[in-house]
Chain A
Amino acid sequence: MANITIDKSCCKGCDICYAVCPKKIFVRSKNRNHYGTNMPDITNPETCIYCGMCERMCPDGAIDVQKEESSENED
């Protein structure tokens, strides 16, 4: 399972990550970031295919995707 984190202090709520994720892991939420806009919520991180598009396309480098140790052992 992927360990996906979104930094509250970096996110500016531009909504690009909703469009670029092929598995629609990011969904709209009412959580506020430090910028004062709505930031995404993470659902079903186990469907992540590690394409890296969210990391590349986030203009503020807020998203970090890390492979967890357990999933590497299974492969």
Chain B
Amino acid sequence: MNRLYKSYIRTDALPSLFCPGCGNGIIQMAAIRAIDGLGIRENLACVSGIGCSSWIPCYLNLDVMHTIHGRALAFATGLKMAQPDKKVMVFTGDGDCLAIGGNHFLHACARNIDLTVIMVNNYIYGMTGGQKSPATPMDAVTKTSPYGAMDYPIDGCQLALTMGATYVARWSTAHPVQLEKSIREGVEHKGFSYIEVLSQCPVQGGKNLYGEKEPAAILKKYREMAKEGQVQLGVFTKDSPRTEYLERVNQRLAAQGWEV
């Protein structure tokens, strides 16, 4: 077993429930490396919702809250308000963040509270058997769209930019070095950080969704798509004049005569 992985993982919970070739493990490793590089293990709390991707922090030997479907951001906001010194990382999926938790996502972005959201986008509801998610591309065949998906997909990064998130980035599981760097920057950034990771689900998605079946071939396809500009990867915004939510709260409290 990898030494770094072993020092951060709850070994009694292994083997993990991820299918062979799942991208969640790669994101878990990137997150472990980022946490280890920053040295914030004692000062970090992870929050997750429901879905395959929300099981990523549950295997980590840290303070973890596994909460109800779509409400991970609401719980994380409460945790950050109660303990402002802690760094809070939120792991969520495309169904969790954009479908049922869409409203919480919009308002957390608009508040600009100091959270780091890692949204694992595999274009499908993997845990429940491969149904269509809001991020599924048009004409993709899934279990609940056998004649091709009819809806235009929701672009999480554009949504976060529109709502005023102050750090927005998108990477894929084929870019683990850049992903690790982005997670580090997101944790250090003061304000709402949204990092979308394009992942693969070779079991429930597979050929109908990505055009390839093997996980290594899907990763290669992601690299080619990034090179040809079919998906836009990179850091979209870093500098924004928006102030952080807790700073504004403290300002108002000080104006009322409270000691902060």
**Which of A42-50, A53-61, A67-75 lies at the interface with chain B?**
A53-61
Q: Known: A7-B1, A61-B5. Is A56-B20 also a contact (CB below 8 A)?
A: no
Residues of chain A within 8 A (CB-CB) of B202 are 14
A-B pairs with beta carbons under 8 A, tally: 83
Chain B residue with Cβ nearest A6: B1
Establish whether residues A56 and B1, one from each chain, have CB atoms under 8 Å apart when the complex forms.
Answer: no
Q: How large is the interface on B (under 10, 10 to 19, 20 to 34, 35 or more residues)?
A: 20 to 34
- Complex CA–CA separation, A9 to B9 (angstroms): 14
Which residue of the partner chain, among A16, A20, A56, contacts B21 with CB atoms under 8 Å? A16
Residues of chain A within 8 A (CB-CB) of B9 are 61
10 A-B pairs, CB-CB below 8 angstroms? A14-B216, A19-B219, A55-B29, A56-B176, A56-B177, A57-B176, A61-B9, A61-B29, A63-B2, A64-B2
Establish whether residues B3 and A64, one from each chain, have CB atoms under 8 Å apart when the complex forms.
Answer: yes
Chain A residue with Cβ nearest B32: A61
- Complex CA–CA separation, A58 to B33 (angstroms): 13
Establish whether residues B29 and A13, one from each chain, have CB atoms under 8 Å apart when the complex forms.
Answer: no
Chain B residue with Cβ nearest A7: B1
Q: Mark A1-26, 1 if CB is under 8 A from B, else 0.
A: 00000010110111110111000000
Establish whether residues A58 and B25, one from each chain, have CB atoms under 8 Å apart when the complex forms.
Answer: yes
Most buried by B among A35, A53, A57: A57
Q: Known: A61-B25, A64-B2. Is A56-B33 also a contact (CB below 8 A)?
A: yes
* Residue tally, chain A, CB below 8 Å to B: 26
Interface residues of B (CB under 8 A from A): 1-6, 9, 14-16, 18-26, 28-30, 33, 176-177, 180, 202, 214-216, 219-220
Distance (whole angstroms) from the CB of B27 to the closest CB of chain A: 9
Question: Is A31 part of the contact surface with B, judged by Cβ < 8 Å?
Answer: no
Which residue of the partner chain, among B2, B214, B215, B216, contacts A61 with CB atoms under 8 Å? B2
Distance (whole angstroms) from the CB of B7 to the closest CB of chain A: 11
- Complex CA–CA separation, A64 to B29 (angstroms): 13
Residues of chain B within 8 A (CB-CB) of A56 are 26, 29-30, 33, 176-177, 180
Chain B residue with Cβ nearest A15: B216
